[in-house]
Structures are given as C-alpha cells and as structure tokens.
Structure 1
Amino acid sequence: MELQLTLKQLAYFRALAETGHYRKAAERIGISQPSLSLQIANLEAALELKLVERGRAGAVLTPEGREVLEKTRSILSEVALLQETSGRMKSELAGTFRLGSSPTLGPYLLPRVFHHLHENHPSLKLIVRDGAPSELLQELLSGVHDFILTQLPVSSSDVTILRLLREPLKLAVARNHRLAQKELANDEDLKGESILALSRRFTLHNQVADLANSLGANLLYDYEGTSLDAIRQMTAMNIGVSFLPSLYAASEIPEVGGDVVLVPYRPGRLNRSIGLVWRKSSGHHQTFAFLSEIILSVARNEFSGLVSIEG
C-alpha cells in the first residue's frame, strides 16, 4: 500500500534536522526514539528518498534531505499561518464574504455600512453584487452569494431571515401634476391615477401593484422601469405617479428644485420591509447576525427619520 505524506512526519523531520540527534529530537517532540525513527522512515518511504544518514555525530542530512528541509520549513510555516488566520477569524469579524443586494437599496445604505466596517473591522471584506430580489434568492441558494440584503418577503424554507428595517415609500409626482401642491394626498386622490412601477423582477413591483389595485388606480405595465432613476424620470415627464423608497428619495431628490415633488401620503403606514437572508446550512450565523447589528447601528445613527427598526 502506498504510504501517505503527513504533516506530523514533516514536523518530526524538522525537529531531527534542527537537533541533529534522534534522542534530542524525540525529547523535544515528546515521543519515544523508536517512534521518531519509524516516522522518519515512513517519510523517506513516502518520498522515495534517503533524507538522513546515521553517524557517530548523530543524524546528518543527505543533499536530498537538505532540499526537503527547506520545503518542509516553508510548508509548516504556511500551515501555522493558516491556523493563526483560522483562530483570528473565529475570534473576530474577519474574512471575505459575498453579499447580494437589491439595486433599489444597496447603493443608498451600504456605503455607510462599508465605511463603518473599514474603520472598525478592517479584516472583514465584502464583495457586493447587485441583483433583482427574484434573482438574489436563487443565487443565494446556489452559492453565488453568502448572504443577501433584500426587500421581504422571501419565500424559502432553506434560509434564515432576519428582519431589519421598515423603509417608507414616498409618493412622487411631476412638478406640474395636480397633486404637486397638496399638503397630504389621500386614497381618493389616487383613484383612477396612472401608477409607474419597477418590473416584476423586483419585490417592490408586487407591493405597488397591490396598492394600485386596492386604490382603483391603473398600473402602467407598458412603462415598467428597470431602475428607480428610470421610474423617477418617467414620473417627471408626467407619465404617471410613483412610489419611491425613502433612502433613494433622500439621496436623489432635492427638497427644492427637483424634477419631481414628494407629496405626503399615508405617513407612517406605507413601508417596505428590509431583511438580511442567508442559507440555514451556512456556518457563519454569528457573523451575519453581527453584521445585521452593524447595519441597524448605521440606520439608527445616520438614517434616523428615513427608516425605522423592525420589531
């Protein structure tokens, strides 16, 4: 049967080379001299090389032995570094993780989260990829992402869902729209109105479609947007009204001089739910839970009044 090379054999060989004596090496390692001799013999058999010569002065490395010793030291050094890294990753927030995020959310929330991580947890690296919520879930389940930040609900029995935020939706209308000057729009104002929405790939589409149906409004399927910017621009051209997430609105719509006007509507009652989602089979539950606390901390400190904490 072919003998297998082991890290233990390499460690024993290094000890023998450094002490130059079987007895001293065995004492350093804490094993018997015959056991050490057997392991060295097994290493030589696995490599099919003569590594050590026995002499009166002790153990002398052969030319092959000297070359193998150099490689052995490099291998054992890398193994020690790997063990150190493993220990560090268990004791602190560290490592590289792949995060999937909805483009209607990530660009407006995550930069502040990244800044916090860079300042306080530099050993943690996030690789972020945007995608529609319908795609993010499938990519999560297939291993493309380690976790996702997305609008809820998410339907799968294979994931853990942690609710984070409620983000208000803002009614946006063109500057020359009949509702642009209203202090507070009501449901009756929107009856029969044309409403713009993102494509069906986005969870926000379903929420807006349900709202339009309940109001007796008309959802414009001929004008489904591929981005929030596209929806805003079509709103500005008075093609229809729209409902834009508050983080997007705060970032892209100035209070004065914007291309659309935000009209108060159902204050505190029209929101979308945002959550962090990961596979139940993942071994990083504590890391993702800790990341959720960071996101919540950023939301409290930097987006107060724009979002509220779930629960």
Structure 2
Amino acid sequence: MTITQLHYVLAVAEHKNFTKAAQKVFVTQPTLSMQIQKLEEELEVQIFDRSKKPIELTEVGRKIVQQARNIVNESDRIQDIVDQQKGFIGGEFRLGVIPTVTPTLLPMFLKSFTQKYSKLKLKIEELHTSAIIKKLKDGHLDAAIAATPLEQENIIERVLYYEPFVAYAPKDHKIHEHENILADQLDIDEVLLLEDGHCFKESVLNLCKTSQRNDLKNYQLQSGSFETLISLANEGLGMTLIPYLHSLKLRESEKDNLKMFKEPVPVRAISLIYYKSELKMQIIDALQQVISGIIKGAIQFQDVKIISPIHKK
C-alpha cells in the first residue's frame, strides 16, 4: 500500500469516474486503474462498485476512503511542519470566502498580500458557509473567511473584525426620516433579504427577532446580491440591510439613503476559521495580520458600544 495509491482512491471517490480522477492526479487512466486494482488485490476487498454509473463506493470502500483521507492529510502535513519550522510562507494555500465578504474584503487586501508573499499560491473559492465547513472537515480547504460564531466542533475561529449593519431606506420609506435607527424599529415584512443559503440573511432574521412574514403582502422578494436588493428598494419595494463595507461602494446619491444604527450597534463578526489540526499556521498568522491592519482604517467603529455578534440558528 502506498500514499500514491491512496491519492488515486480519493480522486476516484470524489469524481466517481476513473477518467476524470486520472486527469485530477495527472496520470493516465490505465495507470490509475491498475494501481487501484493492485490495492484492492492486496487488501482482498473491492473498494469501488464499477457496475454502477457513476461509480460508487462499496460499504468497506467508504470506510477505506475515510481512513485514506486521514492518512493522506497527515502525510501532506510533513512538509507543513518543515515550512512552519523554517518560517517559510509559500506553496499552495486554499482559502474559502463567503459571498457577502468576497466583493468588499478581497479587493482591500489581496493585492498587497500576494505582493508581500510572492512565493505563496493562494487559491480562493467563493462558497456558502455550509460548503466551507464541509470542505474544511474534508481537508479540501486550509482556511476560510466567514461570519461567526459557527459553534462547530474542531473548527477554530479567529475574529478579524466586527462589521456593522447599515440600513438602506429610500426617501419614500418611513425609516428614512430618522437620522439614526434602532434594531427594534425594523419590520421583517419590509426588509428585502438575500436568498436562502446566505448566512447574512440568517443574521438579519435574528436581528429582527422573527422570520414570520405578513400574509397580507402579495409578494416575497429574495435575491443573491446586495445590488439587486438596493435596486428593488429604490423602486419602493421595501428597505434592506447591508454590511458596512458594502455601503462604501454605493453611489453618492444612494449614500443619502443609508441609516446608521444607534448604540448598541448590531454587527456581524467576520473571522478566519480553520480546522484545529491545521499546520499552516504561519500563513494563517500572515493573513490575519494583513487583513486586520487594513480593516482598522476602513471601519471606524472601534470605540462604540456594539450588540454581540448574532448567533446563527
């Protein structure tokens, strides 16, 4: 049994196809098939049911894959240990980022970070929180940037910054007349929300203390982007909440519709998260240092009283 064979098994288990798996690990399909067959003969079991389309794991195959993933991950960490000892910041680092953070945070730090650590190959993937957690646990991500707290076993959370909520209410909305607002003034029936799957939506629902909608309203609107929500609000279909950093990107005419919250200000915690056994700590430390340094100049809410970060349901 070799580590290479286990890599091949994991590739087939992921892609459920020998040809695609071979492309993933950069070998020919016959080579991959032969190595897996040798492993099956050595173990005297069948790992894959080749009669199914797509290929499926056998019952014992599922157990083997689970253990193979642990073995491969641990073998990959040997180089991580050496790099950490040397203080080397380079190689590949896989980072997940939630969609409500990607358009605002990445432009702020990515260029300076990659220039500072030019030997690092940063692979960034935009994912919803549930997918991030799964990929962290499966070893397909080294770290992620997400809204916390997540309360996930074995997931470590390092808060990067607290981002305030900002209300967007056009001139014809009743909240617009207020210079500042309180969370208690929000009516969930009037708040335009992101679609299901976005943790920001859950934060807003928790902030409004209810997820029940008024049956008298003859439409329900949800979208995948803040830009769409703002456009809908401009058409008189309600108001919405956006993260503070996103509000900085609005046109000057739209900024007149922004309403800040009175203290205590509701916020969401944006954190760098990673699996507890992660060894690329020198890269995680570097990410935290660069992002925290940049964000302090962008969010001027360091000294105000805030509402504790909103827990997800």
Query: TM-score, normalised to structure 2's length?
Result: 0.63
Change in Cα spacing, 1:247 to 1:263, as seen in structure 2 (3 Å) is: same
Counterparts of 1:222 and 1:260 in 2: how far apart (Å)? 26
Which residue number corresponds to residue 300 of structure 2? 305
Which residue number corresponds to residue 138 of structure 1? 134
Task: Give runs of aligned pairs for residues 1-311 of structure 1, distance below 5 A.
Answer: 90-187=86-183, 189-191=185-187, 194-213=190-209, 222-251=220-249, 253-254=250-251, 256-258=252-254, 261-301=257-297, 303-305=298-300
Counterparts of 2:119 and 2:303 in 1: how far apart (Å)? 29
Q: CA deviation at 1:186?
A: 3.6
Letter in 1 for 2:285: A
Contact 1:190 1:217 in 2 (8 A): no
Alignment root-mean-square deviation, CA: 3.2
Q: CA deviation at 1:189?
A: 4.1
Which residue number corresponds to residue 50 of structure 1? none
Which residue number corresponds to residue 4 of structure 2? none
Change in Cα spacing, 1:268 to 1:246, as seen in structure 2 (3 Å) is: farther
Letter in 1 for 2:243: P
Counterparts of 1:126 and 1:190 in 2: how far apart (Å)? 40
Change in Cα spacing, 1:225 to 1:166, as seen in structure 2 (3 Å) is: same
Counterparts of 2:117 and 2:188 in 1: how far apart (Å)? 51
Q: CA deviation at 1:274?
A: 0.6
Q: CA deviation at 1:306?
A: 6.3
Letter in 2 for 1:106: T
Counterparts of 2:101 and 2:302 in 1: how far apart (Å)? 12
Counterparts of 1:101 and 1:214 in 2: how far apart (Å)? 27
Deviates more, 1:141-150 or 1:163-172: 141-150
Question: What SS does the corresponding residue of 1:258 show, helix, strand or coil?
Answer: helix
Change in Cα spacing, 1:300 to 1:184, as seen in structure 2 (3 Å) is: closer
Question: What SS does the corresponding residue of 2:109 show, helix, strand or coil?
Answer: helix
Q: CA deviation at 1:233?
A: 1.9
Q: Percent identity?
A: 21
Q: CA deviation at 1:167?
A: 0.1
Change in Cα spacing, 1:112 to 1:187, as seen in structure 2 (3 Å) is: closer
Counterparts of 2:85 and 2:109 in 1: how far apart (Å)? 20
For the pair shown, which has the larger CA radius of gyration, 1 or 2?
1
Change in Cα spacing, 1:249 to 1:259, as seen in structure 2 (3 Å) is: closer
Structure 2's unaligned 5+ residue stretches are 1-78
Number of residue-to-residue matches in the alignment: 224
Contact 2:183 2:266 in 1 (8 A): no
Question: What SS does the corresponding residue of 1:201 show, helix, strand or coil?
Answer: coil
